[in-house]
Amino acid sequence: MADVTFEIDRFEWAGDGRLELAGRWFGLRGHRFLRPTLDVDVDGERRRMLADLEHKPWAADDGAEWVAAFTWRGDPAPFDDAELTVSPDLAVQLPAVGGAARANSGTAAGTVERRPAGPSRTSVLEGELASAMSEAQRLREQLSAEQTNVRGLDSQLRHARAELATAQAEAEAGRAEADAARAAETEARDESSLARAEAERARADADAAREEARMAVPEADGLRAELVSAQRDREAALARVTAIERELAAATETRDRARDERNAWMQRARAVAAGRPSAARAPTPEPEPEAEEPTAAMPLREPDLAPEPVAKPAVERRTIQIGERPRPVRPEPATELHPPIRRGPLDGRAPSMLAVVALLVLVAVALALIFLAL
């Protein structure tokens, strides 16, 4: 291909608005033409035109005249760059339009412009495109590998984010536990302060109770002395009560005997008044058993104060005149058979004194327990 050249005879506008190209090819051995194309750049726009079939431009002989005409669409326009392509691997760069060589003008052969043929721009572009596509495929494969790597990195990133979220959650939990621990420590400190304050108050209360107990010792001693005195008074009162009960028992026995004698005499008087022999005697009452003397352990009881039956007075016998009404017999006033019972000075105060003594004993026991607890 490096030996193929094209000798340009003319390249100009024809009268019918076509571009005509004439010249000769050299070194075409082994090359076969296709339908030629002409590529020009007009105002930055690339135009491609196919050769007309009039001159049969697909056949060329080495060194023979070769003519090709290209139809221009629109008005003719100037252009600087033109490329003639006769096969995929054979193309020639053409000069500006209007260039002429020897076109039957007798010009010297030395002025004929011969240009080497080379691969067409399309082939070059296709090669570059193929290379670019290969490079693009390589880049695509590299991109796929990078995408795989990115997906791996994305998976690692998601895993790292999950670990970060877990770490953040653990940090939040740790922060919450730390806050709870600080709150518990603060609460424990407050409770400790309260406990110390309560201990101080309890110590102060204990000191006050100890002082009260110490001050209550003389009072307890006084109460103990009063208790001893009250016990002595109680024993003396019990002795007096025992003596009074004995006297009361003796008086009761005497009263019963007198009552029996009175009843006997009254029966005897009734018998005399009724006209019965005076020898009739009342039955002698059997002696009653002596009353048991009360002791200090026996409970005090009131004597039997049931009312005695009052003896009826003897019926007075008197003579009643005829026509005289009998006068009612007035009974003699009954004499007091039993004298009133006199009570001692401690009979009514004994229960209250016992209650006071019991209260004093309880107070003394409570003070002793408080003193032992301190």
Predicted confidence at residue 120, as pLDDT, reads 61
Average per-residue pLDDT for the chain: 76
Determine contact, residues 281/268, Cβ cutoff 8 Å: yes
- Give 62's DSSP letter: B
- C-alpha distances out from residue 331 to 66, 260, 319, 335, Å: 202, 21, 19, 12
- To 10 degrees, the CA torsion angle through 53, 57, 59, 65? 130
CATH 3.90.1520 fits 5-119, yes or no: no
Residue 79 CA to its chain's centroid (Å) = 88
- Give the residue-averaged pLDDT of 227-254: 89
Q: What is the pLDDT of residues 9-40, one digit of tens each?
A: 888 888 777 888 889 988 888 778 888 988 88
Determine contact, residues 84/36, Cβ cutoff 8 Å: yes
Sequential DSSP letters for 334-355: PPP-SPPPPPPTTTTTHHHHHH
Q: For residue 221, give both structure tokens.
A: 């001693």
How far is the C-alpha of 130 from the C-alpha of 140, rounded, in Å?
14
Q: Which residue has the higher pLDDT, 317 or 210?
A: 210
- Give the residue-averaged pLDDT of 64-71: 89
Nearest-5° Cα angle at 254, 252 to 257: 110
Predicted confidence at residue 312, as pLDDT, reads 47
pLDDT above 80 for 107: no
- Give the residue-averaged pLDDT of 52-81: 83
Determine contact, residues 288/256, Cβ cutoff 8 Å: yes
Task: Please classify residue 370 by burial: count the beta carbons closer than 10 Å to its beta carbon, then call 0-12 exposed, 13-18 middle and 19+ buried.
Answer: middle
pTM reported for the whole predicted model: 0.35
Q: Model confidence at 165, in pLDDT bands (50, 70, 90)?
A: very high
Sequential DSSP letters for 122-137: HHHHHHHHHHHHHHHH
336 CB-side CA count, 13 A = 4
How far is the C-alpha of 133 from the C-alpha of 66, rounded, in Å?
37
pLDDT above 80 for 306: no
Domain ranges of the chain: 5-119
Task: Please classify residue 95 by burial: count the beta carbons closer than 10 Å to its beta carbon, then call 0-12 exposed, 13-18 middle and 19+ buried.
Answer: middle
Predicted confidence at residue 265, as pLDDT, reads 92
Q: What is the pLDDT of residues 226-239, one digit of tens each?
A: 889 888 988 988 89
Helices (H), the chain: 121-273, 350-373
Q: Model confidence at 164, in pLDDT bands (50, 70, 90)?
A: very high
How far is the C-alpha of 176 from the C-alpha of 292, rounded, in Å?
91
Amino acid at the residue 268: R
How far is the C-alpha of 61 from the C-alpha of 32, rounded, in Å?
10
How far is the C-alpha of 345 from the C-alpha of 230, rounded, in Å?
14
Closest CA to 66 of 29, 28, 122, 98: 28
